[in-house]
Structure 1
Amino acid sequence: MIYKNISLKAFTALLAGAMCLTACDNGFEEMNTNPNAYTDPVIGSLFSYSIIKTAGDGDNNTLYANDKLSGCFVQYFASLNAWQWTGDKYLYKQDYNKGLFETAYSSELKETAQLISLLKDKPDMSNMYHIARIWRVFILHRVTDMYGDIPYSQAGLGYIESVYKPGYDSQDQVYAAMLGELEASAQALDAAKASFGGADFLYGGDAAKWKKFAYSLMLRLGMRLTKVDIGMAETWVKKAIAGGVMQSNADIAKLDHTGGSANNWNVNSYLLQGGEGVPPSAQGKGYSKLNKTFIDHLKATKDPRLPFYSTLWQGNADPAKLAQTSAPDVQKGLPGGYDYTTIKDLIPNWTDNMQAEYSEININTIAALAAPTIFQAYSEVSLLLAEAALRKWTTGDVKTYYDNAVKASMESQALYPGNVTVTPAQIQAYLTANPYNATTLDAGMKQIHTQFWASHFMNNIEVYANWRRTGYPILVPTNYAGNETGGTIPRRLRYPESEASLNREAYSAAVSKQGPDLFTTRIWWDK
């Protein structure tokens, strides 16, 4: 019936044309494939990209989460600008609050999820698979520590299985899964097998280094549980130590940067140097200042890291002046929790020009464009080992671990530009003036974790988590008018508003279980 009204001549022509198309198809696909284009994922590039994005993908997972919120909560930073810097006043600003959550799932995790899917059934690429799993834990542990219950088991599946409304796992389930993954992957790493090589910007594909990082991260997460499940905490801390954690600054998990090309800058440093931080053009009247709590502690303990952390604005504008502008005796921290008007209640003769007298973060050293991004430091591991020894969970002397941590922190300044280093004599003088001398668990925790705070400035997300777990350093909260907490330091961040609308069922279930979606709701391990 199809051919009823078609002439024989026309039908013959159609048939000949079809035969020609079939014959001509040989080699067609090859002819139309660009030999210079990638049609399959480049495994190494996926991993490199994930590392870079986790180190800094704009404001969201750097300036917002790390500085304006976490850094202000633990009183590293203060600002008189209530709109641009909200954290020291406990105000809610949607962009700041949602930044880490949305960036982790949309940017940091994307390539890692693809890697895990691509490599899971390839035994010859098992090192790469397990390194990707370790990195996935690193990405998501920061999210759960900031928000509580999160999508974990289904995290990243939107990219490979079209799961666009992932369910939330309770934080106890997340922690059990993360610790289990770290253990399995650390044990599976094999130095005899291939790895990412030069595409691994942390360790150059060194499986032994990744094993140490996995166990060091396990130590961090195990200690996180001391308030909620002391038995579980002890079990995982002991496993981490037995597995083998970092032994020196050579084991630090970090991404190096260079100052020459914008593509290689430290994103957090770049943003701090910009209009919302401490631009030298502002002549000391930028929005960001170092907090009085932090500066006063460093001065009181005669901490030789102070010139590395801090300067007056003239030194940021002209490094030749740093010897004078970073001198400890001229540093002065700004009280947190005030704005341009209310600061006059504290300092009656205040004028805005007086901002120039207060200390800024040093953009020549710790906040330089070429400053490394530290994901986990050996000094942190040493302090956690000190706590483990204090709790009798490991052998070794608490004071020795504590001293090693201080030494490692101060010596790590050599990894940064600016040539502001601490001499062995200065380290010893500091330890002599500030010895570890605690005789009880509470006193030991106070000394260890106040040092944790003094040592890990600019790893602010982790310091904020550690403060919530330990209560140290002792911080006096502010009570700015209209704050979200009633004058207490926030215990978590709120979920992005988009979750309540686009993933409502999962979001509602999480809030119903965890508690109201507020700054004051404590997450599972923060009891």
Structure 2
Amino acid sequence: MSKLYKSILFFGLVIFTTLISCSKNYQELNENPNGVAIAAPERLLNPSLYAMVSANILRNYSINNDLMQVTVPLSDNVEIHRYILRPSISDFVWNDWYLEKTNFLDMYTIAAQNSTSKTTAARPYMAIANIMDVWVSSLITDTFGDVPYSQANKGKTESIFTPAFDKQEDIYKDMFRKLEEANTLLTGLATAQLFTETQRSLDALYGTATTSDVELQRWRKFGNSLYLRLLLRASAKADLMIDGKTAAQKMAEIVANPTAYPIFLNNSESAILRLTGATYPLRSPFVGYRDNDFTGIGGLGEFFINTLSENADPRLPIWAGKVDNAYVGMQSGYSDGNVPPRGSQLLATLRLEPLLGNIMNYAELQFVLAEAALKGYIPGLPKTYYNLGVQAAIEHWSLTMPANYLTSPNIVWEGAATQPQQMELIMTQKYFATFFTDFEQWYDYRRTGYPTLTIGPGVSNDRILPTRLYYPTAVQSLNRANYLEAVSRMGADDLKTKVWWAKP
């Protein structure tokens, strides 16, 4: 028994010692020797950019297109075209956008921490992160109004799990600050601060440019073009000041100083994440859809089809199919139980179209400038910008603008027309230039009331096209105190409350 006891004691001590040793080195043993503690900023760009674009394409397809009469469902159960949007619809866009906003904020923080490193292009990644952050932040606030911003995305770093909702006006001011910073950071970069070939390969948006300085100049142009988009959106708020200037005055400063604020000059500089169809790395978000799944969501709306047909628009044959050898639109907002006959549908070839990855294109910028010139914000003739926009929007799709197209009925710029008539021209063409571009058509309509859409007989919401989305149900319950404060400030959490830039 004594011998057995000694053996048991010996093995017990061995096990005890082993456990103590494992406890001491537990952390070291569970570290991946092939991993990195902090991701390089360039590694965050493409995954987040691709996730954003993919989410935006899908939400454009399922929400924007029905709201803006691009498509009309062939089922009574799909009610967005009747202005019935439930809070659950908001969950997807809110979650997708805030998730990627976290990555863009991390990208900026990591790049800033590496600002003294000789091996990291810190300034460019700080600038790119700012541009991406502004892009996603603008989508969030323009969709909902007042939203978490200054305290958002700080659960991990500062344990803020119920962030306050910032006023949209304050969000816009900070977005403009970030775009100013991005422009400054990308100005006059030294050779040592330009991207390496490895870094350039990780930039799916502009990394195929001829050189790294051209690549970064295109990012700078994108940032300033986005700046103009958002300045125009806020331009009706005369009390908004950016460095002592109104939004209109800031637009004039940017346009008058192309060296200090370069912007898109042609289609090749547009911000388009060109998808790679059914193959990696940038697969279309529709790759899992069959052709019938993609086209069968419904028909194309009367406004969409009729306008393109009446204008003999060369984009019509590559966007829409025929019914009995004719292009036929469907009534949007039809009453319950009165589903119209199937009309023309989206062509199945669009399912894998690389251009669906559009973020902001040169044609849209020209229509921004046309409206700004029409309203006297910037010098120049609105006709000039408008004509450039019409041509660029067609050529964007690798098509040739027909001869005399700019003098054809419904297209020609009439200098003697009223401002509302000229706004109708600009915004109608801008509507088609932003085809499949997140919620841009909806934002523009909410801001301007153009293009003029025929409201169907079966719509709800007091026949008012929704002016925002409901806050997500999870936000309403989990961040209730801040939610209620924001709702009290805005007026109501409904589909008729106008966001700050849309209010008189």
Same fold, TM-score > 0.5, yes or no: yes
Q: Are the structure 2 counterparts of residues 341 and 524 from structure 1 closer, same or farther at C-alpha, using a change threshold of 3 Å?
A: same
8 Å CA contact retained: 1:79, 1:339:
no
8 Å CA contact retained: 2:88, 2:473:
no
Structure 1: distance between partners of 2:288 and 2:377: 41
* Aligned partner of residue 165 in structure 2, secondary structure: coil
* Aligned partner of residue 157 in structure 2, secondary structure: coil
Q: Are the structure 2 counterparts of residues 266 and 79 from structure 1 closer, same or farther at C-alpha, using a change threshold of 3 Å?
A: same
Match of 1:396 in 2: 380
Match of 2:4 in 1: none
- What is the root-mean-square deviation in Å for CA atoms of aligned residues? 3.0
Structure 1: distance between partners of 2:230 and 2:290: 29
Deviations 1:49-100 (A, max 9, x none): 110110114xxx443x3133222222111113232x3221111234323321
Once the two structures are superposed, the pairs formed by residues 362-381 of structure 1 within 5 Å of their partners are: 362-365=347-350, 367-381=351-365
Match of 1:114 in 2: 106
1:145 to 142, 147, 150: 142
Q: In the TM superposition, what is the alpha-carbon distance from 1:479 to its structure 2 partner?
A: 4.2
Does residue 444 (structure 1) correspond to residue 422 (structure 2)? The answer is yes
Deviations 1:213-269 (A, max 9, x none): 111011000100233338722023124323121110111111111123265322157
Match of 1:514 in 2: 490
Match of 1:412 in 2: 396
Does residue 495 (structure 1) correspond to residue 489 (structure 2)? The answer is no
Deviations 1:117-173 (A, max 9, x none): 222233251210121011000011011111101111122222433321111101111
Match of 1:282 in 2: none
Which letter does structure 2 place at the counterpart of 1:402?
Y
2:61 to 56, 67, 76: 67
8 Å CA contact retained: 1:249, 1:408:
yes
Does residue 291 (structure 1) correspond to residue 287 (structure 2)? The answer is no
* Aligned partner of residue 493 in structure 1, secondary structure: coil
2:92 to 83, 90, 99: 99
Which letter does structure 1 place at the counterpart of 2:368?
L
Does residue 77 (structure 1) correspond to residue 67 (structure 2)? The answer is no
Q: In the TM superposition, what is the alpha-carbon distance from 1:505 to its structure 2 partner?
A: 1.2
* Aligned partner of residue 375 in structure 1, secondary structure: strand
Match of 1:202 in 2: 205
8 Å CA contact retained: 2:470, 2:495:
yes
Match of 1:319 in 2: none
Q: In the TM superposition, what is the alpha-carbon distance from 1:40 to its structure 2 partner?
A: 2.7
Q: Are the structure 2 counterparts of residues 271 and 225 from structure 1 closer, same or farther at C-alpha, using a change threshold of 3 Å?
A: farther
Structure 1: distance between partners of 2:289 and 2:490: 34
Once the two structures are superposed, the pairs formed by residues 403-482 of structure 1 within 5 Å of their partners are: 403-414=387-398, 422-424=399-401, 426=402, 428-433=404-409, 434-439=411-416, 440-480=418-458
Q: Are the structure 2 counterparts of residues 165 and 62 from structure 1 closer, same or farther at C-alpha, using a change threshold of 3 Å?
A: farther
Structure 2: distance between partners of 1:29 and 1:503: 35
Structure 2: distance between partners of 1:213 and 1:292: 33
After the TM superposition, which of the residue ranges 155-164 and 244-253 deviates more from structure 2? 155-164
* Aligned partner of residue 311 in structure 1, secondary structure: coil
* Aligned partner of residue 367 in structure 2, secondary structure: helix
* Aligned partner of residue 272 in structure 2, secondary structure: strand
Q: In the TM superposition, what is the alpha-carbon distance from 1:476 to its structure 2 partner?
A: 2.1
* Aligned partner of residue 348 in structure 2, secondary structure: coil
Once the two structures are superposed, the pairs formed by residues 55-454 of structure 1 within 5 Å of their partners are: 55-57=53-55, 61-63=56-58, 65-83=59-77, 85-105=78-98, 107-124=99-116, 125-190=122-187, 191-192=189-190, 193-195=193-195, 196-204=199-207, 206-229=215-238, 232-241=246-255, 242=257, 243-261=261-279, 264-267=282-285, 273=291, 275=293, 277-278=294-295, 286-312=296-322, 330-338=326-334, 341-343=337-339, 354-355=341-342, 358-365=343-350, 367-414=351-398, 422-424=399-401, 426=402, 428-433=404-409, 434-439=411-416, 440-454=418-432
8 Å CA contact retained: 1:73, 1:464:
yes
8 Å CA contact retained: 1:403, 1:431:
no
Structure 2: distance between partners of 1:521 and 1:269: 37
Structure 2: distance between partners of 1:147 and 1:70: 14
Structure 2: distance between partners of 1:197 and 1:210: 12
Q: In the TM superposition, what is the alpha-carbon distance from 1:44 to its structure 2 partner?
A: 1.7
Structure 2: distance between partners of 1:121 and 1:311: 53
Structure 2: distance between partners of 1:465 and 1:370: 24
Structure 1: distance between partners of 2:149 and 2:44: 20
Listed as ranges, the gaps of 5+ residues in structure 2 are 1-8, 117-121, 241-245
8 Å CA contact retained: 2:74, 2:297:
yes
Q: In the TM superposition, what is the alpha-carbon distance from 1:372 to its structure 2 partner?
A: 4.0
8 Å CA contact retained: 1:216, 1:246:
yes
Structure 1: distance between partners of 2:403 and 2:145: 38
Deviations 1:385-405 (A, max 9, x none): 112222333333222211111
Structure 2: distance between partners of 1:122 and 1:341: 61
Q: Are the structure 2 counterparts of residues 520 and 302 from structure 1 closer, same or farther at C-alpha, using a change threshold of 3 Å?
A: same
Which letter does structure 1 place at the counterpart of 2:84?
L
Q: Are the structure 2 counterparts of residues 291 and 212 from structure 1 closer, same or farther at C-alpha, using a change threshold of 3 Å?
A: same
Which letter does structure 2 place at the counterpart of 1:363?
A
Identity %: 27
TM-score, normalisation: structure 2: 0.84
TM-score, normalisation: structure 1: 0.80
Deviations 1:497-525 (A, max 9, x none): 11111111111110000011000111111
Q: Are the structure 2 counterparts of residues 32 and 449 from structure 1 closer, same or farther at C-alpha, using a change threshold of 3 Å?
A: closer
